[in-house]
Amino acid sequence: MATLYENADFATLAGPDYGAIPDGAMLVDKGRIAWIGKRDDAPDAESRIDLGGGWVLPGFVDCHTHLVFGGDRADEFEKRLNGVSYEEIARAGGGIRSTVAKTRAASFDELFESAARRLDYMADRGVTTVEIKSGYGLDLENEMKQLAVARALGERLGVRVRTTFLGLHAVPPEYAGRQAEYAKLVVGMIPEIARSGLADAVDAFAESIGFTNDETRAVFDAAKAHGLPVKLHAEQLTNQHGAALVASYTGLSADHLEHLDEAGIATMAMAGTVAVLLPAAYYFLRDTKLPPIDAIRKGGVKMALASDCNPGTAPAFDPRVVLNMGCTVFRMTPEEAIAGYTREGARALGLQNECGTLEAGKAADFCVWDIERPADLVYWIGGPGPQRVFRNGEE
């Protein structure tokens, strides 16, 4: 049955000035947007729902998270603030090794329950699509366990989930001192990952303290051979020219980008690779090197915004906090930030034809907000979630 949603202003994000349609209406049929425009021009509908004023926006798309993991690292956070160095914590078995150990030890159900609490919170605050990476198992069995949990979260919680295999995230303890050997092992995991259908994309951490460009290329070659698109943690700590590398594979996105250079920007623009900005990690790590936002903007590269939710460097999952950080920390405009968490987040996942804007033919993923203007979502540091959330037309 087709339903007309009316008596609200609509920020479609499908054009400039938020793609705003004051006093608009939207017809939804079988989970898709059938029509959207001015209320006076609305077609007849079998049922009508009065939204009571306010604004309707697309559901948020969080295109970079590490949502499935065992335990947390709050104890390490407190230790660092009390003067214990990261190196001392790592030598004592902390850091990513701690998360790997806890993730490997956790059962499927334990991982599901902890991640579901985080995703429930995000969904209540308007997230209708989320990307979830593996990367804390670091062997085939546990990487696939993480990916299977991520798939189950989407099926049971009613959120659209895209999964990403991040085997090239860190060297597991059993391969200490044998990074090249572990990188080859990850290449060998990809055929089974692809056959399982558990991953929608492949990611890697190309960095001075991570993996080399040659190791990353080998993983990307394997991904390409098995029909999996790629993305990359790039230029977070140093400029390893990872953005240009992933763009050479027509990658979906390059993420972090604090040390991105002009050559990387130009290559990303030519390839259509999205710049995914992660201000929560920048904030939590007390970084001082801002991504070159103005150069990215002038270079014509699309900018997405995401939480980077993870236990070590970005324990964040509130979209309104991340939106505010995008503006106050990274100097994005409110419209850029909101578009980054909707339209461009969808583009960074290859879902630009499915969600991220309110347009005819796309999924009816939308939120009803009690606000005076879209920028109110960015102005407040946090704040209440939407009054109503719809995914594929279902509340």
Average pLDDT over residues 259-287: 97
Whether residue 296 contacts residue 260, with contact meaning beta carbons closer than 8 Å, is answered with yes
Tell me what pLDDT residue 28 has: 98
Specify whether the CB–CB gap between 200 and 232 falls below 8 A.
Answer: no
Determine which of 95-99, 116-120, 144-148 has the lowest per-residue pLDDT on average. 95-99
**What's the pLDDT tens digit per position in 110-140?**
999 999 999 999 999 999 999 999 999 999 9
C-alpha gyration radius of the chain: 21
Q: How would you write the chain as a 3-class SS string?
A: CCEEEEEEEEECCCCCHHHEEEEEEEEEECCEEEEEEEHHHCCCCCEEEECCCCEEEECEEECCCCCCCCCCCHHHHHHHHCCCCHHHHHHCCCCHHHHHHHHHHCCHHHHHHHHHHHHHHHHHCCEEEEEEECCCCCCHHHHHHHHHHHHHHHHHHCCEEEEEEEEECCCCHHHCCCHHHHHHHHHHHHHHHHHHCCCCEEEEEECCCCECHHHHHHHHHHHHHCCCCEEEEECCCCCCCHHHHHHHCCCCEEEECCCCCHHHHHHHHHHCCEEEECHHHHHHCCCCCCCCHHHHHHCCCCEEECCCCECCCECCCCHHHHHHHHHHCCCCCHHHHHHHCCHHHHHHCCCCCCCCCCCCCCECCEEEECCCCCCHHHHCCCCCCCCEEEECCEC
**Which residues lie below 8 Å from residue 331, measured CB to CB, with a gap of 6+?**
290, 293, 294
Task: Read off the pLDDT band of 92 (50, 70, 90).
Answer: confident
Q: Are 253 and 63 in contact (CB under 8 A)?
A: yes
CA-CA distance, 152 to 368, in Å (whole number)?
27
Do 60-348 and 3-57+357-390 have the same topology in CATH? no
Two tokens at 226?
A: 């098995």
The mean pLDDT value for 191-210 works out to 96
- Which residue's structure tokens are 């309104």? 320
Query: What pLDDT does 116 receive?
Result: 98
Burial of residue 47 (CB within 10 Å: 0-12, 13-18, 19+) is exposed
Q: What is the mean pLDDT of residues 167-194?
A: 97
Task: Indicate the pTM of the whole model.
Answer: 0.97
pLDDT at 371 exceeding the cut of 90: yes
pLDDT value at 87 more than 70: no
With a CB cutoff of 8 Å and minimum separation 6, the contacts of 229 are: 200, 201, 202, 223, 251, 252, 350
Q: What whole-number percentage of the chain has pLDDT above 90?
A: 94
Q: Domain locations in the chain?
A: 3-57+357-390, 60-348
309, with CB counted inside 10 A (0-12, 13-18, 19+), is buried
Confidence category of residue 95, pLDDT binned at 50, 70, 90: confident
Other CB atoms within a 10 A radius of the CB of residue 81 amount to 8
Q: CB neighbours (10 Å) of residue 153?
A: 24
CATH 3.20.20.140, applies to 60-348:
yes
pLDDT average, residue stretch 336-362: 98
Mean pLDDT of 201-220: 96
Q: Point out which residues pair with 314 in neighbouring strands.
A: 310
* Both structure tokens of 16: 């400039």
Give 91's pLDDT tier (boundaries 50, 70, 90): confident
CATH topology of domain 3-57+357-390: Urease, subunit C; domain 1 (2.30.40)
Share of the chain above pLDDT 70, in %: 99
Q: Which amino acid is at 29?
A: D
- At 266, is the pLDDT very low, low, confident or very high (cuts 50, 70, 90)? very high
CA distance 48 to 329: 42
- Residue 93 pLDDT > 80, yes or no? no
- CB neighbours of residue 259 within 10 Å: 20
